Amino acid sequence: MKTKVIRFYQNGGPEVLQLEEDEVISPPQDQELLLEQKAIGINYVETYYRSGLYPTPLPSKLGTEAAGVVLEVGKDVRHLKPGDRVAYAQGPLGSYSQFRTLPARYAVKIPEGIGFDEAAGGLLKGLTVQYLFRQTYPLHSGQTLLFHAAAGGVGLIACQWARHLGVRLIGTVSTEAKAALAKNEGAWETINYKTENTVRRVLELTQGQKVPVVYDSVGKATWQTSLDCLQERGLLVSFGNTSGAVTGVDLGILAQKGSLYLTRPTLATYLNTPEKLQNAARELFELMEKKIIQVHIGRRFPLTEARAAHEYMQSGASSGSTILLP
């Protein structure tokens, strides 16, 4: 069996992505699955691998999220069988492909009411919001928080989950259209960071109290702003670098701004056992089945147009989830 796959041989922009054809290893190893993929999730972290910000041996495949159908299982796989609809959001790079093998511990069953597109476009983003809101800083009703990039794929799920929890989410956005989208999905208020002063607006919205927690996936461009929006002993949750990595940090600034806390969490550490992964996915899927959380697919691209998909994702024009179709 052959499969189309995306690979890159050097670090750089979207132009380094190449479409190739590989042989699929079959049968899978003892603890693996062989999958026919139906939809592939694209996430900003993949630009870090492609650019070299997150080093990976070259040549390298790309992608860690997809949904599809199990074709074969290894002899030690007990929780899944051929024909099962599954999704995954972790594991070895290589989801940008038609068929692939995958360690079975990363796969979760998709409930019948959830489509492949939804699962592929929402699992990683939804699990990210789960560990951010339910574990990194457990939120409760009545709290106010600041969430950067509220109209992105993670941000829109965060808006919905915050509304479900009774939390007032202030979301930063870059356009009025994105502001309207975030408000529609559950943001309490939005701030257009291109036309408004984020710190000043947070002070106004909180009657000078600021917020106890800021969720920041932007990185370099918002680092200082995020710190300035925190209450004394507040927590900055830095979980991405879309504007570049935060470097050369003077820890003394945390003392100067009110004995602040800082964490750089990852899904891999929070969901580091099959049990934790299954529990988090179960909570997410239950909310999706009830339509409390809906995954918005902004654009769909054929797998053969992975370069164009990356260009779109980095253009600043994207909203919601972007997926590849094998």
Q: pLDDT tens digits, residue range 187-217?
A: 999 999 999 999 999 999 999 999 999 999 9
Collect all residues with Cβ–Cβ distance below 8 Å to 315 and sequence separation of at least 6.
none
Q: Are 72 and 26 in contact (CB under 8 A)?
A: yes
The count of domains in the chain is: 2
Q: Is residue 69 pLDDT above 90, yes or no?
A: yes
For residue 27, whether the previous peptide bond is cis, meaning omega lies within 30 degrees of 0, is: yes
Q: Are residues 256 and 312 in the same domain?
A: no
pLDDT value, residue 325: 97
Please state, in angstroms and rounded to a whole number, the distance separating the CA atoms of residues 307 and 6: 10
Q: Are residues 10 and 63 in the same domain?
A: yes
- 236, two tokens: 């900055």
What CATH number is attached to the domain comprising 320?
3.90.180.10
Q: Are 91 and 119 in contact (CB under 8 A)?
A: no
Q: Is residue 168 pLDDT above 90, yes or no?
A: yes
128 located within any domain: no
Residues 41-68 have a mean pLDDT of 94
Sheet with 189-192: strands ordered across:
189-192, 168-173, 144-147, 211-216, 230-238, 261-263
293 located within any domain: yes
pLDDT value, residue 83: 97
Q: Are residues 199 and 95 in the same domain?
A: no
Residues 26-38 have a mean pLDDT of 93
Percent of the chain with pLDDT over 90: 88
What CATH number is attached to the domain comprising 250?
3.40.50.720
Name the domain boundary from 232, 247, 264: 264
132 located within any domain: no
Model-wide pTM > 0.85: yes
66 located within any domain: yes
Please state, in angstroms and rounded to a whole number, the distance separating the CA atoms of residues 99 and 200: 50
36 located within any domain: yes
169-177: long-range contacts, CB 8 A cutoff, minimum separation 24 = 169/144, 169/145, 170/144, 170/145, 170/146, 170/201, 170/202, 170/205, 170/211, 171/146, 171/147, 172/146, 172/147, 172/148, 172/198, 172/222, 173/149, 174/316
Residue 202 CA to chain centroid, in angstroms?
A: 25
Q: Which whole-number Å values give the CA distances from 199 to 20, 90, 102, 209, 230, in the listed order? A: 48, 35, 44, 11, 9
Q: Are residues 102 and 27 in the same domain?
A: yes
Name the domain boundary from 264, 281, 298: 264
Q: Are residues 277 and 213 in the same domain?
A: no
Q: Which whole-number Å values give the CA distances from 32 to 28, 92, 98, 112, 293, in the listed order? A: 5, 12, 17, 23, 30
pLDDT value, residue 32: 96
Collect all residues with Cβ–Cβ distance below 8 Å to 165 and sequence separation of at least 6.
133, 139, 140, 141
Q: Are residues 295 and 256 in the same domain?
A: no
Please state, in angstroms and rounded to a whole number, the distance separating the CA atoms of residues 162 and 62: 31
Mean pLDDT for the chain overall: 95
Q: Are residues 39 and 96 in the same domain?
A: yes
290 located within any domain: yes
- 2, two tokens: 């052959």
Q: What is the rounded (10 degree) CA torsion for 180, 182, 184, 187?
A: -120
Element (H, E) at 68: strand 66-73
Q: Are residues 149 and 249 in the same domain?
A: yes
Please state, in angstroms and rounded to a whole number, the distance separating the CA atoms of residues 174 and 267: 26
Q: Are residues 113 and 6 in the same domain?
A: yes
42 located within any domain: yes
- 162, two tokens: 């915050």
Nearest to 325 by CA among 1, 2, 6: 6
Which residue carries 């309490």 as its tokens? 188
Q: Are residues 257 and 277 in the same domain?
A: no
Q: Is residue 242 pLDDT above 90, yes or no?
A: no
Nearest to 92 by CA among 32, 16, 10: 32
Domain that holds residue 76: 2-122+272-325
133 located within any domain: no
Q: Is residue 320 pLDDT above 80, yes or no?
A: no
Q: Are residues 214 and 238 in the same domain?
A: yes
Q: Is residue 25 pLDDT above 90, yes or no?
A: no
Name the domain boundary from 225, 245, 264: 264
Q: Are residues 199 and 255 in the same domain?
A: yes
